[in-house]
Amino acid sequence: MEPQQQPDAAAAAGAGAGEPEVPAGLGLTAAEYAQLRPTVEAYHLYAVGQGQCSSLLAQRIEAPAAAVWAIVRRFDCPQVYKHFIRNCALRPDPNAGAGEDDGELRPGRLREVSVISGLPASTSTERLDLLDDARRAFGFTIIGGEHRLRNYRSVTTVSEIRAAGAAAVVLESYIVDVPEGNSEEDTRLFADTVVRLNLQKLKSVAEANAASNAPAPPPAE
């Protein structure tokens, strides 16, 4: 399944009681969305104000959810699956005590990201907002740097789809300011394109990892 987008994450919860309505363009079956709806409502709804836009995209990955989450949670190493990042460095943790691991990931940590040339960006300073291993939920906010995504806030969740074998669905949503002189549609198209490409790369990396870790077939009789 290619990553699918929903025009406005605020509409993702559907309407009314009974069988939930799958948001147009999300690319999920009604049964899959019914499983994911609590996650959407918990993490992927935003109060979108004037001059902002929001979106939700989904990616099915044929790999165990735990294996996908192991990649997504790496706030310190996003370039593993994010196409346009040249390198990333964690800022020193001011809350780390003597002898503590400065590389520990916790909400509030900051990273400095360098972006490859050819994009309307060069650097990005990002803050880890959410890292919940039990619920497989990850979120960050862009708080500085040279780029066009002002007040960009994103949440990514990894969910196991029951009755689908070793399959996971990754949901990634965001809210961002619309830059002056740009339309809401243009801003969403730009952000969606970046997220979509990243999710495709995540699928490729996770499925390749899963294949390399698969047990060898039994010998022929």
CA distances from 157 to 102, 153, 194, 203 (A): 25, 14, 17, 14
What proportion of the chain, given as a percentage, has pLDDT over 90? 61
pTM for the model: 0.85
What average pLDDT is seen over the chain?
85
SS3 at position 146: strand
Handedness of CA 149, 169, 3, 105 (dihedral sign): positive
pLDDT recorded at residue 10: 46
E strand map for the chain: 4-6, 52-61, 85-90, 110-115, 123-132, 137-146, 153-160, 168-177
Residue of 121 and 54 predicted with greater confidence: 54
Percent of the chain's residues with pLDDT above 70: 81
Q: What is the mean pLDDT of residues 42-48?
A: 96
Q: Is the pLDDT of residue 13 over 80?
A: no
What's residue 1's pLDDT?
53
**218, HSE (Cβ side, Cα atoms, 13 Å):** 2
Q: Using one digit for the tens of pLDDT, what is the confidence trace for 18-28? A: 567 888 778 88
Query: What pLDDT sits at residue 175?
Result: 98
The predicted-structure confidence for 49-98, as pLDDT tens digits, reads as follows: 999 999 999 999 999 999 999 999 999 999 999 988 989 999 987 776 65
The single residue listed with the structure tokens 């990005």 is: 124
Residue 119 pLDDT > 90 = no
In tens, the pLDDT along 99-115 reads 565 678 999 999 999 98
Residue 186 has pLDDT above 50, yes or no: yes
- Beta-bridged to residue 156, according to DSSP, are 138, 172
Q: Of 38, 36, 11, whose CA–CA distance to 25 is shortest?
A: 11
Q: Which domains does the chain have, with CATH numbers?
A: 30-92+106-213 (3.30.530.20)
